[in-house]
Amino acid sequence: MIGNLQCVVLDCSDALELARFYRSLLGGTVNQPDPRWSLDDNWTTLHLETGMVLTFQGVDDHRPPQWPDPTRPQQFHLDIGVKDLDEAQRQVLALGATILDPGDATRCWRVYANPAGHPFCLVWE
């Protein structure tokens, strides 16, 4: 082993806005003091109750992924386990997510984009 996962970083146009989106989705604390990071307008953190840390880095000319276009790939995505796909979908859409792939009745996952365009999946637990 070379190291441990410290955080997941998402580039975006507005770091605080995207951190608030994920706080509404996952809970946690935005910009919790942590000696590992210096916070500013272009760097925001979200500390989750599980110990995971998501970080958001503001980028001036952010170009969101265009799923599933290989010329602008998703770069990474998060799978978020939920007990009720329909209710979770209602909630993420209300937060500003958009549907990329609604799936069908035979599939246990659906694909969305966060407000900055990053794909994420809701997966039935």
Q: 88: domain CATH number?
A: 3.10.180.10
Per-residue pLDDT at 67: 82
Per-residue pLDDT at 2: 63
Residue 119 sits in the same domain as residue 90: yes
Per-residue pLDDT at 124: 86
Rounded mean pLDDT, 63-78: 82
Question: Cα–chain-centroid distance for residue 28?
Answer: 13
Residue 12 sits in the same domain as residue 49: yes
Tell me whether residue 64 is in a domain. no
* Cis before 115? omega within 30: no
Over 90: is that where the pLDDT of 105 sits? no
Q: Are 82 and 122 in contact (CB under 8 A)?
A: yes
Residue 54 sits in the same domain as residue 84: no
Please tell me the total count of domains within the chain. Answer: 2
Over 90: is that where the pLDDT of 76 sits? no
Residue 47's domain comprises 8-58
Residue 50 sits in the same domain as residue 89: no
Residue 13 sits in the same domain as residue 49: yes
- Around Cβ 112, how many Cβ atoms within 10 Å? 23
Maximum pairwise Cα distance, the chain: 46
Tell me whether residue 36 is in a domain. yes
Over 90: is that where the pLDDT of 48 sits? yes
Poorest-pLDDT segment among 5-14, 31-40, 67-76: 67-76
Q: Are 112 and 122 in contact (CB under 8 A)?
A: yes
User: What average pLDDT does the structure give for the chain?
Assistant: 90
Residue 82 sits in the same domain as residue 112: yes
Tell me whether residue 63 is in a domain. no
CATH code, 47: 3.30.720.120
